[in-house]
Structure 1
Amino acid sequence: MRPHASTGNLPAELNHFVGRRRELSDVADLLKRAHIVTVSGVGGVGKTRFAVRAAAAAAELEGFSGGAWLVELAPVRDPALVEHAVAEALGLTDHTTRLPRATLAAHLAGRELLLVLDCCERQVEAAARLAETLLRQAPGLRILATSRQPLGVPGEHVMVLEPFAEDDDHATDAVELFADRASAVLPDFAVDGSNRAAVRELCRRLDGIPLALELAAGRLRALSVDQILERLDDRFTILTRRGATGPARHRTLRTAIGWSHELCSPRERLLWARLAVFAADFDLEAVEYVCASPELPADAMVDLVADLVDKSVLMRRDTACGAVRYLLLDTVREYGLGWLRELGEEQRTRARHRDWYLGFATWGELEWFSARQAQVARSTDRELANLRAALEFSLEDPQEFRIGQFLAGTLWFYWVGCGRLAEGRYWLERALAADETPTGQRAKALWVCGYVSILQGDGIAALGMLHECRQLALDTGNATAVAYAVHRLGCGALLSDDLPRAKALFEEALGHYRTLGELNSNVIMAEVELGMVAAFSGELERGIEICEAVREACEDHGERWALAYALYTRAVIAWWQEDPALARQLAAECVRINHEFRDMVGIVLGIEVLALLTAAHDAEEAAVLQGAAGGIWDMVGLPVFGSRYFAIPHNRCEELCRAELGAVGYARAFARGSALGLDAAVARALASREATRAGTGSAPAGNAKPARPRPEPGAGGYDAPGADERQRA
């Protein structure tokens, strides 16, 4: 799930943290004087767990007002996605065409914040470049990285996290860790005189590596400590004869994991290998599809998964919604992937994995137009790492390129509806560049990429893609793609203030949709956009009629995302009709819905209206809200799309606030709002006080003027545009 609090996103500790007192003190001292500290060490030594504990302590004691944020880089296979992963962890959404790195730098520039970059070794160069850029532009930023090798960033301080050693207090820590994890397996287990020597010997033989100790503790379900020692001794011998190479501690970790592997049944080993294709956590249904075969039937998966959990190979995760998911630790996953390659099954299993997530995306596209829309958003958030892996696989092999185009296009609901425009465009452009064959898959990717580009404010690129899509669709007889291309061309016309052309294109698209029998959130959105055209053209009753029809359709199908834009349109009309109470109610609901989906465009449009309505009785608070909206527009793109119609509420609000506060007072209040994070901005907008008087609302103190003046034609355009405005358009 995406973070919602400004204090960070560090996970809760599910079991007892053992030892490391001296190292925690050392890293705390380093973070006081260094901008970047890298915790290095062998795989399995506990770098991630240590960094999370250290970050939590630092955030509490050192006053990082922006919180401590964990970025999990282990699932990231493409260096270009490192920046997206950081933005994802921060809950930062950017609709503009800026590079994610620039967005991150702008977001972090004025904040005191601790960023934990975990598992950098797979993308060490990309992580290093990003860290250096951010540190140069954000003086209040501190980075705590974990990696099996230093990043090489100027000013980096490296702290090597050693295994629990035998010659100091860490020997006690190793025994304590083993005892703690063993008691989770056997509640009555305790280290006493009968087993203390054996436990200490086990800790010594495993070189005090925490992951190895935890895996060994898991064996107590079936073996005594002495039996573990005997079998461990056998494993050392066998794996050494197989030619294990590398540092001793690497061999020890491989031995510990390999020993767990040897203790698994043949079917458990095969499942372990196939599970390695999952980039992050996963559910049982995915396992049953991806990993099933005649020798590993789907109906055996429940028991096999439970066995791997019992053996501490799989980690169980309970989610907030009550579902159970499973995770392979990164080192355990790498071991399984090695076996999968030796079996010659990697390509087949990755294809099965991709097919499952293609089905998942198709389900999401269908269910987006239903009462399960919020569930789709949450589920897609949760599966993002696996969806990225599926896209990556599809764009590596020319035979899979068209499936990659289809998958990237099918996820339009997530790219657009859940504030993922930048990442969506990245995948769509990669998919389009991979294969230029005029197919239905390419047509879909073209209209989706065109739509994304319009919302990013890149109209020139969007027009090129949409015109190509329409021509391709006409040439191939793809009536569905024609409809979507025409619809999105209408969006471009609307945002560029060409209302007559927008109206014609929306009506043409809706005609195509009706002929095709198409009904989904895109179709509903075309209706909403036609309602916007009516409202901006001064046809207020027609706008209300369209919005009411949209509301009824959305209620029938449980649709809320497109409904939020109808609520925005209806709120603007209510303001023009001098009904501020209704306008506030509608705009607030628009913000609430869009905040749930993290749709930045819908959020900021609603806040602009709420700021205007607040200006009628509290100019200073309205200016704060305008500042908050300004900060969000920085992430969305061109403020109010550069449109004079969408800018009407903003311009009227600014005029009222400046008249009441003066230029200096307005600038101060605006700056306070600009410093608010997204969640704080939304909370403040929704909590803004309602007007204390009915009707048009009270004017700011000392300025007895109506909330919505009626200037002469051409004098500012704050009224609902009528015939004169249509003539100018």
Structure 2
Amino acid sequence: MDGFAQPMQSDRSPDVSAGLPAELTRFIGREAELAEVSAALGQERLVTLMGAGGVGKTRLALSTARRVAEHCPDGVYFVELSELRDPELLANAVAAAVQLPEQSERSTRSLLETLIAYFGRKRLLIVLDTCEHLVDACAVFVQSVLRYCPQVRVLTTSRQPLDAPGESVLQVMPLPVIDPDEETLSGAEPSDAMLLFAERAAAVVRGFGLTDANREPVARLCHRLDGIPLAIELAAVRLRALSLEQLLARLDDRFRLLSGGSRSVLPRHQTLRTAIDWSHGLCSEQEQLLWIRLSVFAGEFELTAAEEVCAGPRLPADEILECLIGLVDKAIVLRLDDEGDGSDARYRMLDTIREYGRERLAESGAELEYRTRHRDHCLALAEEFDARWLTGDQVAWMRAAWHERASLRSALEFCRTEPGAAGTGLRLVSALWGMWLCTGRHDEGLYWLERLLAQCPGPHPDRATALRVAGHLSLMSGAHARGLELTQQARDAADEGGGRLDAAYVIFNQGLAHTLTGELDWALDQLKDARERFATLGERGGEAWMLGTMCGSYLCAGEYDKALATFDETQPILEPLGERWVQGWVGWIRGAALWGLGRHDEAAAVLRSAVAMCMEIDHAQGIAFSIDTFGWIAAAEGRFERAVPLLAAADRLWERFHDPRLGIPAMHQAHDEAVAAARTALGTRRYEKLYAAGAALPLQAAVDRAVSAPHAAATKERAGRTRGGWAMLTVREREIAALIAEGLSNRRIAERLTISKRTVDSHVEHVRGKLGYASRAQIATLATSHQSSSGTS
């Protein structure tokens, strides 16, 4: 690192970067990469920037060269090799770039020897750009120079490594992008890809800039283009003739659209297709075959999947590994970072590279064959996922399915559009019900189900399953009426030929619907029936799920003690399964029941455990409910500065669903009462400031805030002795407290309010827990004091 630690003194002109081409446009982003490459050049004498065509290797190399130029007092030199075809002329290209004096040439020496003598002990940097078609020649040249010229450093750009001794290879990735379908744009900083597009667009459309109106389409365009700088710059040029919306709509034909770049740009970068053609030409015939067959995978894949789907004529399965290594070496396929869990290596192609392969696959006439094989692979994966869903393998299979989600969507689209494939699509989308439920993607699951069901209108062996899955997704998104309608259709289909498992799930859906609408007796009848059916079928996961839903029924009805008792009955069945999704639900239900009883310390401890399980499997609704309930606890204790950000964070999480909190009236009431108490205590301005801060919290930050603050018993006791104590009570609790002040017993209160005595008992205990009171007399005193201060009777 000594050559880069301090600027060196020299008699040369201070403009040591004169050997670099001028920058005509501003370099955007990549600060972390610039620092990494600069540091690598300080440690190693040969650094290769490797990446796909158009990813920005050259610009990164040039920017790095300018940054480190002060450490190279004898100059930095750029050697562009893309137009050089004869490897024997490599030394000539370098000699021209460094302006080798003619008098230094000797007929008794080769040009390489002359260069080595010229470099001698000079401190300089040579940038060899676009080495992939001259890899062997570049490796020999660099090795010779570095061996005899101890102060020279070399930075190369290539689509594959030189494999020279001492080479440090750094992978250049596309610019970071934001996926509007997975991430929120509100309040987020624009990605580097968006900034690049905006700057290049401003050069062709006067006054163009990022605004609230165009952030979403710009983000979507950059995401569709994989963050590849070349593709983004070519797209920006098209704004001369097209609107942003037209440009986005035409991206499916991106190779025709993104052509005709600047005339000053090298030919291989004037169109996106030419840039990728260049990479294609570097591949062997078998590597080209694997490339086009891998194009059926959207997103990530493993080696075993590639061997299963892509083996065929001229490419046996046992040769796929070597070809895959070749594509990784040429930056056609990216090897993803290991997750540290011992799982197999995963790979992906950028969408632009994949679509190029898909076009060539179509031209070969083999597209239908390999897309069908890919669909069958996805179906097998989905059915294995379904079989493992309510087991101890749940988390691992959830992660596997999530990694494959892009390919699963591609397979579903194939089933939707390929004649005769809709029935297979029904099996595929239904088998993935756990993924749609867990990750909160109910709408996506319903999107595929509704379209595939429409293509299978008559009797079909998979129709009953698909309908009851659609019914369940609708119910769990809060669309109760639609869920019941689909469940009725599922019952009719099951009667016509569905299996016993479908019949059990149909009854479960009916019980769930009554649970969500607060009809306890009806719900319990259905859920008990469903539980017995699952037990008879040996479906322990389904049985545990039914018991968990029964806990939820009692919670929604305010029967907190019964919810806890049913929880105890659930555990011997649920815990041995080792799964996390139902346990996350049941853990939240138990925590909410303890909150309902005013046992806040216990509730907080249970919720911490529940939210940890939910985070482990990305259980979207369980996380949202848990954060919500932490907010209710804080509000009940008068800690409104803590409560409001949590309530806001929960609201933000619920935005993706048809109706927040599953449309459960009791849960809406709990949330609304906490909000009302906080707004009253804090005032509108302070409340809104805290709410905005909470709504902006990233998911992990919201969870950390929810679980971090310990319960403060002293705070609760003080809250009960202040006038704020009355504001902490719900409307129903205030009503009961007022009747206690009138001297009514719990039984008389139940008769007056037309509710069960057990419910009144629970509310009274809840009031005592919130306020830290030991007797009914204290409740009566608080109610009387409030009535006197407010002038009511």
CA spacing shift, 1:705–1:401, aligned 2, 3 Å: same
1:412 and 2:412 matched: no
Q: Say if 2:116 is the partner of 1:86.
A: no
**How far did 1:555 drift?**
2.5
Distance change >3 Å, CA 445–CA 664, structure 1 → 2: same
CA–CA separation in structure 2 for the residues paired with 1:155 and 1:362: 39
Shift of 1:585: 0.9
The 1:725/1:654 distance shift into structure 2, 3 A limit, reads farther
Using the TM superposition, name which of 635-644 and 353-362 deviates more.
Answer: 635-644
Aligned match of 1:286: 305
Residue by residue, what CA displacement relative to the aligned partner does 1:320-352 show, whole Å, maximum 9, x if unpaired?
235322334445434543443344321111111
What is the distance in 1 between the residues matched to 2:517 and 2:27?
57
Q: Which residue does the alignment assign to 1:136?
A: 213
Matched, 1:399 2:420: yes
The structural deviation recorded for 1:542 is 3.4
SS in 1 for 2:540: coil
2:448 counterpart (421, 427, 437): 427
User: Relative to 1, partners in 2 of residues 1:380 and 1:457: Cα closer, same or farther, differing over 3 Å?
Assistant: same
Contact 2:518–2:665 (CA under 8 A) maintained in structure 1: yes
Q: Offset at 1:282? A: 1.5
Q: Deviations over 1:184-228 (max 9, x none)?
A: xxxxxxxxxxxxxxxxxxxx7xx454xxxxxxxxxxxxxxxxxxx
Residues in 2 aligned to 1:312 and 1:651: alpha-carbon distance in whole angstroms? 54
The one-letter amino acid paired with 1:136 is: A
Residues 568, 403 of structure 1: CA spacing in aligned structure 2 closer, same or farther, 3 A cutoff?
Answer: same
Structure 1 residue matching 2:665: 3-state secondary structure: coil
Q: 2-side partners of 1:713 and 1:357: how far apart?
A: 57
Q: By how many angstroms is 1:250 displaced?
A: 6.7
CA distance in 2 between counterparts of 1:427 and 1:86 reads 20
- How far off is 1:378 after superposition? 2.4
- For residue 320 of structure 1, what is the amino acid of its counterpart? E
Alignment length (residue pairs): 563
Q: CA shift at 1:639, angstroms?
A: 3.9
The residue that corresponds to 2:6 in the other structure is none
Residues 518 and 553 in structure 2, CA contact (< 8 A), matched pair in contact too: no
Q: TM-score, normalised by structure 2?
A: 0.62
Q: Tell me which residue corresponds to 2:378.
A: 357
1:278-305 deviation digits (Å, cap 9, x = unpaired): 1223110101111224754333332332
**How does 1:143-292 map onto structure 2 within 5 Å?**
145=222, 146-147=231-232, 148-149=234-235, 150=238, 152-153=242-243, 207=267, 209=269, 252-253=274-275, 256-261=278-283, 264-265=284-285, 267-292=286-311
Question: One-letter code of the match for 2:213?
Answer: R
Q: Which amino acid aligns with 2:454?
A: A
Secondary structure class of the residue paired with 2:348: strand
Taking a change above 3 Å as real, the CA distance of residues 340 and 553 of structure 1, as seen in their structure-2 partners, is same
Pick the aligned partner of 1:680 from 701, 713, 718.
701
Whether the 8 Å contact between 1:614 and 1:688 is mirrored in structure 2 is no
Is 1:319 matched with 2:338?
A: yes
Separation in structure 1 between the aligned mates of residue 579 and residue 243 of structure 2, nearest angstrom: 48
2:495 equivalent to 1:474: yes
Aligned counterpart, 2:322? 303
1:342 to 1:25, Cα distance in 2 relative to 1, 3 A: closer
Instruction: Give the structure 2 partner of residue 46 of structure 1.
Output: 55
Which residue does 1:579 correspond to in 2?
Answer: 599
1:536 positional shift: 4.1
Q: Distance in 1 between matches of 2:471 and 2:58?
A: 43
Residue by residue over 1:221-279, the C-alpha shift from the partner in whole angstroms, topping out at 9 and shown as x without a partner, is xxxxxxxxxxxxxxxxxxxxxxxxxxx86785465345324xx24x4443333222112
Query: Is 2:550 the counterpart of 1:456?
Result: no
SS in structure 1 of the partner of residue 508 of structure 2: helix
Give distance in 2, aligned partners of 1:344 and 1:482.
Answer: 44
One-letter code aligned to 1:287: A
Higher relative contact order (CA 8 A, sep 6+): 1
Instruction: Name the CA distance, whole Å, in 2 between partners of 1:49 and 1:456.
Output: 49
Instruction: Give the one of 545, 552, 555 matched to 1:532.
Output: 552
Aligned to 1:699, the other structure's residue is in SS state helix
Question: Which residue, out of 533, 538, 547, partners 1:517?
Answer: 538
SS of alignment partner, residue 636 of structure 1: coil
* CA radius of gyration, larger in: 2
Relative to structure 1, is the Cα distance of residues 500 and 354 closer, same or farther in structure 2, using a 3 angstrom cutoff?
Answer: same
In the other structure, the counterpart of 2:510 is 489
User: Aligned-pair RMSD on alpha carbons?
Assistant: 4.4
Task: Identify the residue that residue 527 of structure 2 maps to in structure 1.
Answer: 506
Contact (CA 8 Å) 1:115, 1:144: kept in 2 or not?
Answer: no
**Residue identity opposite 1:290 in structure 2:** V
Shift of 1:404: 0.5
Q: Which residue is 2:577 aligned to?
A: 557
Q: Structure 1 502/343 Cα, relative in aligned 2: closer, same or farther at 3 Å?
A: same
Query: Structure 1: how far apart are the matches of 2:427 and 2:436?
Result: 14
Q: Distance in 1 between matches of 2:289 and 2:219?
A: 42
CA contact under 8 A between 2:394 and 2:579: conserved in structure 1?
yes
Q: CA deviation at 1:24?
A: 3.0
Distance 2:217 2:349 in 1: 35
Instruction: Report the CA distance shift for 1:287/1:497 in structure 2 as closer, same or farther (over 3 A).
Output: same
Code of the aligned partner of 1:610: F
C-alpha distance in structure 1 between counterparts of 2:289 and 2:302, whole Å: 18
Contact 1:531–1:542, Cα closer than 8 Å, also in 2: yes
Pick one of 717, 723, 730 that aligns with 1:703. Answer: 723
8 Å CA contact retained: 2:280, 2:288: no
1:23 alignment counterpart? 25
Given the superposition, is the C-alpha separation of residues 157 and 384 from structure 1 closer, same or farther in structure 2, using an over 3 Å criterion? Answer: closer
* Structure 2 unmatched ranges of 5 or more: 1-19, 31-51, 64-173, 198-207, 223-230, 249-256, 741-745, 760-793
- TM-score scaled to structure 1, two decimals? 0.67
Deviation, structure 1 residue 394: 1.1
Q: Structure 1: how far apart are the matches of 2:289 and 2:535? A: 50
Q: Secondary structure at the match of 1:282?
A: strand
Cα separation, 2, equivalents of 1:716 and 1:285:
69
> Partner residue of 1:102?
none
1:725 aligns with 2:770: no
1:366 maps to 387
- 1:256 and 1:69 mapped to 2: Cα distance? 21
CA distance in 2, matches of 1:584, 1:644: 23
CA distance in 1 between partners of 2:518 and 2:647 (Å): 23
Write out per-residue CA displacement over residues 461-505 of structure 1, whole angstroms, 9 at most, x where no aligned residue: 222211000111012142221211221222222112222221122
CA apart distance, 1:370:
2.6
Contact in 2 for aligned 1:691/1:698 (Cα 8 Å):
no
CA contact (8 A) 1:443 1:473 kept: yes
* AA partner of residue 24 (structure 1): R
User: Residue deviations 1:15-54, cap 9 Å, x none?
Assistant: xxx99954334899xxxxxxxxxxxxxx943379989x99
Query: Does the 8 Å contact 2:395/2:579 carry over to 1?
Result: no
In structure 2, what is the Cα distance between the partners aligned to 1:684 and 1:580?
17
Q: Does 1:608 align with 2:702?
A: no
How far is the alpha carbon of 1:648 from its aligned partner?
A: 5.0
Rounded to whole Å, the distance in 2 between the matches of 1:485 and 1:283 is 37
**1:673 Cα deviation from its structure 2 partner:** 2.6
Deviation at 1:538, TM superposition (A): 5.3
* Paired amino acid for 1:599: H
Q: What is residue 41 of structure 2 aligned with on the other side?
A: none
| Percent of aligned pairs sharing the same letter | 27
After TM superposition, give the deviation of residue 581 of structure 1 in Å: 0.9
Q: Which amino acid aligns with 1:259?
A: G
Residues 423 and 456 in structure 2, CA contact (< 8 A), matched pair in contact too = yes
Query: Is the partner of 1:326 in helix, strand or coil?
Result: strand
Aligned equivalent of 2:612: 592
SS in 2 for 1:24: coil
Contact 1:447–1:484 under 8 Å retained in 2: yes
Match of 2:486 in 1: 465
For 1:251 and 1:49, how far apart are their aligned partners in 2?
Answer: 18
Decide whether the 8 Å contact of 1:576 with 1:708 is kept in 2: no
